[in-house]
Each structure stands twice: as C-alpha cells, then as structure tokens.
Amino acid sequence: MTHDNLANSKKSKFLLKKATSIEEHIARYLLVTQKYSQKGYLKGIKKIQIHKKFENLLFENYINLNNELDLFDDSTNEGKLISDGFIELFIDKYHWNSTCFLASDGSNAFGSARLITKDSLGLPTFNDPGILISDEFGYLCQENCAEFSQFVVKNGECAHISIGLLKLAFQFSTSVMNIKKWIATIDNSVLMFLNSRYFNFNLTAIGPCVYYLGSECTPVYIDLERTLENSARQQSSRAIAEYILDNNSDGFEDLEIEY
C-alpha cells in the first residue's frame, strides 16, 4: 500500500459490518466473483442456471437446497458459478455455515471477508485433498477453529479497509463466537504482506504451497492472541495491532465498524 493509495482511500467513509440482508450478501459475492474471475479461476468452474431468486438460494436450508438442485458435490470443495438469469455469483457449499463481512461506502462494496465455522461439512483447508497439512499440525483438525477466507479488497483500492475487515473479524470471532484460532489458505502475496514489517503477524505455515482458487497459496494457522502480540511488539506495526485490538483508532477514522 502506497502513501498515495492510503490518502485517496480516506476521502470517503466506509461502513464495515456483518452481512445480513440479501443485498449485502449479493454485493459481497459480486466482489468475490470478480476477484476470482480476474485470477482466471472461474474458467474451469461449472455454471448452473437456477430458476429461483438468489434470496431463496442464499437463505434456504443447505441440505434441502442441495437435494433439490444438486448444486454441490460433497466430495469437492469447488464452488459453482450460479446464474439466476441476471447475475452470476461464485458460491460454495460453505456459505451456509459462514459469517460474512462487508465493507461499503453505502453504494458500492469495497471489501469482503468471512469466517467459516465447523459443522458436518468441516473446514475447506482440512477437507481439500489438494491441501496437505504437515503431520505436526494434524491436531488442529480437532481444535475449535474457524476458517478465514474470501478476504478481498476491491482492485487493491482502499487498502486500509483490509485492516478494518481484520479488526471486525477478530472482534466478532473472539467476542461473539468465542473462537480464538483460525485456519486459512492464503494467497502467497497476501501472506507476504501480512508477515511484512507493516503487520508483523508471523503467520505459521502448516503445509506446503499449493495452487488454490486461482493462485499460489499456503495453508496457515493463526493463533489470534499470539499473532497480535507479535504485531504489537514491533514499532512498525504497533498502531495496526492497537487498532485491531480496539485500543486506538487513530488513522482509521473513516472506517465505521458495526458489531
């Protein structure tokens, strides 16, 4: 993130919140779908035409929906590109056990993230046969973890929104869900940024690099408390750690977070 990008991003006010309405969910999925399309990931993804409104699709019970439409094969993590005749959205089977977060300026979506919680489907990183978890981290499958995913900021704009999304997800995870450990399979360029002097997260790789969702990625384990302790210890990243911990909002006044 350059100084110019940061300065330009602060001309507007942004609301970051849990997505609840159908409009918010669709706005978030459009942003995620656009990002996957830019990566070229959607070229080989199966397209499905539905004859019901996206409102019914997104809020209907997954089991009934899967039986009715046969949208997802439980043996794979791949989502589907689903069209209602007007728009196309990339949706996977984990939507129904996800808490989704959206950043917007009131009109347009600028950022997305989600936390997937364990249910009968498990977590994508542990389920995907292409992602190998090192034996020393096999115990994590039994831990009370959530998976952090679909972490997207629009076209690299408003880069500081990514920090706001991390704060929102962190606060929601620890305070509402009582979950303090995450799993994620992160684009290597994003992982490098999160481990740079700007964040100093020092995220731990739990398996080898893999081509996943259109880019080279690495599975990581995120102990939230330890991660922010790492960040707070370094002068270059202390302000970000303090912001995520909700101890100081200096420099982030344009981000309004709704819990």
Residue 135: inside a domain:
yes
Is 75 domain-assigned?
yes
CATH of the domain at 163: 3.40.630.30
In a domain, 128, yes or no: yes
Residue that wins the pLDDT comparison between 68 and 149: 149
Kindly report, residue by residue over 179-220, the tens digit of the pLDDT.
999 999 999 999 999 999 999 999 999 999 999 988 999 999
**pLDDT tens, position by position, 3-29:** 344 444 446 799 999 999 999 999 999
Domain presence at residue 230? yes
Q: How high is the pLDDT of residue 209? A: 97
- Domain for residue 254, yes or no? no
Asked if residue 99 belongs to a domain, the reply is: yes
Q: How many domains does the chain have?
A: 1
Q: What tens digit of pLDDT does each residue of 51-92 get?
A: 878 888 888 776 666 665 666 765 566 788 999 888 999 999
Q: Which domain holds residue 81?
A: 3-248
For tokens 């096999």, name the residue: 138
Q: Does some domain include residue 25? A: yes
Instruction: Give the span between the Cα atoms of 61 and 54, in whole angstroms.
Output: 13
What pLDDT is attached to residue 225? 97
The verdict on pTM exceeding 0.85 is yes
Residue 255 lies in a domain: no
The overall average pLDDT reported for the chain is 89
Query: So what's the pLDDT on residue 25?
Result: 95
Long-range contacts of 78-81 (CB under 8 A, 24+ apart): 78/45, 78/46, 79/45, 80/45, 80/46, 80/47, 80/48, 81/33, 81/42, 81/45, 81/46, 81/47, 81/48
The reported pLDDT for the residue numbered 5 is 42
Average the pLDDT over each of 34-43, 135-144, 149-158, 187-196 and give the range with the smallest value: 149-158
Residue-level pLDDT at 119: 82
